[in-house]
Amino acid sequence: MINRLLFGFIITFILNGCTIQAQKVSVAAASDLKFALDSVISVYQKQHPSEKIQVTYGSSGKFFEQIQYDAPFDVYFSADVSYPKKLKELGLAISEVKTYGIGRIVIWSKKINPNIEKMKALLNPKLNKIAIANPDHAPYGEKAKESMQYYKIYDQVKGKFVYGENISQTAQFVQLGAADIGIVALSLALSPTMKKAVGKYYVIPEESHQPLEQGYVILKHAKNNPHALKFYNFVASPTAIAILTHFGFTQKAS
């Protein structure tokens, strides 16, 4: 009798463990989404308290490479919509690619007010270090480079660059004083952390770079996880879109 009870307990424990595991959704997300997506997840989990959304933030380009080598992510949010589109073409994504917003880049500094000189603020001789995300794999770094080339100042300032692995690390450089000025995501400039740092920012005109259209997709790893689809759909809801808009992600006109 005791053995039967023990066996029943073990089976119940295993089944419950499998259910809990199935309710976890593992997300890879561009670091510019840190505050916006955390807010979206907070609202989602209040509505679905038994589900857990686990997020890793980093470089969109590096996540793209990792996913091609079977990194165990269920949903991928990229600062460059072309990455999830490529994963779809490669058969590594199982949903349509959705756009969650269009990002903007800003010049941010605690040392000067970049609104006065705008792009020429980067030429200020008193500023020795300029932080940008690495343009080789970070979409925000690529757009920062495009803008500086558009305004014909890139060659004059490139010797001062301090490269962040992603846009979140880039923002930390200027926030903590490791760089005097930087080009960061508007979504991070609007975050509580950056606001507390009491810096000022100038929004770089959109015409100076290609659009930072950003997108997300459900990955092949989530084929047996219905909760990934629930979360994917929630991000397209009016509630989630309102949060994303609050953090500076422009929505595409329908």
Look up tokens 């009870």; give the residue: 5
User: How does pLDDT run across 212-241, given as a tens digit for each residue?
Assistant: 999 999 999 999 999 999 999 999 999 999
Closest CA to 107 of 10, 180, 33, 192: 180
Residue 252 has what pLDDT? 73
Whether the per-residue pLDDT at 20 is higher than 90: the answer is no
Q: Which domains does the chain have, with CATH numbers?
A: 2-102+212-246 (3.40.190.10), 104-208 (3.40.190.10)
* Reported confidence tier of residue 251, pLDDT bands at 50, 70, 90: confident
Pairwise CA distance, residues 18 & 3, whole Å: 23
The proportion of the chain whose per-residue pLDDT surpasses 90, expressed as a percent, equals: 88
Give the model's pLDDT for residue 253: 56
Q: Does residue 173 have a pLDDT over 90? A: yes
pLDDT over 60 at 38, yes or no: yes
Global pTM value? 0.83
